[in-house]
Amino acid sequence: MPIELPPGTASYSDRTPPPQKRQLLLLLGFFLGFIAVIFLSLGSLVNLLVDFIPPSVEQQLGRLTVPSFERMSRPSPAQDTLNQLLDRLEVHLPEDQRTGRDYQVLYIPDNTVNAIAIPGDRVILYQGLLNQMESENELMMVMGHELGHFANRDHLRQLGRGLLLQLLIASVLGDPGSLQAIALSGVNTVANAQFSQQQEYEADEFGLSLLRANYGHVAGSTDFFERLSKLPGTVEIPFLGTHPVSSDRVNRLKQEAKMLGMKEGVRSPLPAVLKGKG
């Protein structure tokens, strides 16, 4: 028999949780929201703080990434020439990008078409990439682009929030033990970092300004990228994996050069020692 409630008596429907339960749910919601906000703002905060990680900390990371490339590289006239070219760009770097830095090229006599900037201030250049170069200016643009990744600390940003936070704490505390742990878990990430489109644009702009400072013009700056962007998708070029080249990127670069009013000039020939035998 149904129980009859006297008129005016409130009843709780089955679907409405009692007030205590509702408050608990609300509290839980707030708590989860709070955690999400902290996590998101931590990401942008860490991103801002990346610029304050001293180059010495980056070089400590390099101690774990550099040796494996050093083993493949060969001291050679080609490597010396590449370092001389890099030096010419370096003198145009802003003062704060030069202090405490020791940029060097590691030349690898291998047909891989790639150039990588790795922590420890090393630019890895493969003969395969040099074989694709038709002028010194194109090569200088690629090297300037790599210096742009260093300047923007792109590798450190690529480590991910967790590792980056550890790196920040370690650099404040000066704890070499945890630096080693970070480098070990992030070693592949930092050596083969894939950058975002925005990071590529910014590195391009950086390279462009170095090119202008060196030659007084930006002739040849888009040649190599243009050639790569026209290759069929089936061709495997490691350079495209680490530095994706789209026609959009080429257009942007061209526009940038035009906007800055940089006049076209004469391209310099690629030094003979860098030309492949094939």
Neighbours of 196 (CB within 10 A): 12
Total binding residues toward Zn ion, as defined by CB under 5 A: 2
Touching Zn ion, residues 17-56 (CB under 5 A): none
**Opening angle at CA 188, ends 182 and 191, nearest 5:** 105
Cα 222 to Cα 226: distance, rounded to the nearest angstrom: 6
- Please tell me the distance from the alpha carbon of residue 178 to that of residue 176, in angstroms, as a whole number: 6
Q: How far is the CB of 116 from Zn ion (least distance, A)?
A: 9
- Residue 195 Cβ, how far from Zn ion at the closest point, in Å? 5
157/243 with CB nearer Zn ion: 243
**Can you spell out the DSSP letters for 179-231?**
HHHHHHHHHHHHHSPPPPHHHHHHHHHHHHHHHHHHHSS-TTTTHHHHHHHTS
Q: Measured between alpha carbons, how far is 245 from 231 in angstroms, rounded to an integer? A: 10
| Rounded least distance, CB 272 to Zn ion, Å | 27
Tokens of 76: 């050679």
Distance separating alpha carbons of residues 220 and 253, to the nearest angstrom: 11
State which of residues 155, 157, 243, 249 lies at the interface with Zn ion (CB under 5 A): 243
The stretch among 160-168, 180-188, 210-218, 243-251 that binds Zn ion (CB under 5 A) is: 243-251
Considering only the stretches 57-65, 96-104, 215-223, 236-244, report the one whose residues sit in contact with Zn ion under the rule CB under 5 A: 236-244
Question: Nearer to Zn ion by C-beta: 63 or 227?
Answer: 227
Shortest CB 275 distance to Zn ion, Å: 24
Closest approach, Cβ 205 to Zn ion, in A, equals 12
| Minimum distance, C-beta of residue 145 to Zn ion, in the bound complex (Å) | 6
Q: CB nearer to Zn ion: give 93 or 203.
A: 203
Find the shortest distance in angstroms from Cβ 91 to Zn ion: 22
The residue with its CB nearest to Zn ion is 243
Minimum distance of Zn ion from residue 149's CB (angstroms): 6
CB 94 within 8 Å of CB 76: no
- Rounded to 10 degrees, the C-alpha dihedral 40/199/160/99 comes to -110
By beta-carbon proximity to Zn ion, the closer residue of 151 and 181 is: 151
Binding positions for Zn ion, 189-218, rule CB under 5 A: 203
Q: Which stretch binds Zn ion (CB under 5 A): 11-19, 62-70, 164-172, 240-248?
A: 240-248
Q: Based on CB atoms, which residue is closest to Zn ion, 129 or 170? A: 129
Q: Report how far residue 62's alpha carbon sits from residue 54's, in angstroms, rounded to the nearest whole number.
A: 13
- Of the pair 107, 206, the CB lying nearest Zn ion is at 206
Judged by beta carbon, residue 132 or residue 185, the one nearer Zn ion is 132
Alpha-carbon gap, residue 81 to 139, rounded angstroms: 12
Per-residue CA distances from 151 to 42, 74, 108, 175 (Å): 22, 26, 23, 24
Instruction: Tell me if 155 contacts Zn ion by CB under 5 A.
Output: no
Choice between 180 and 229, CB closer to Zn ion: 229
Q: Where is 99: in which H helix or E strand?
A: none
Where do contacts with Zn ion occur on this chain (CB under 5 A)? 203, 243
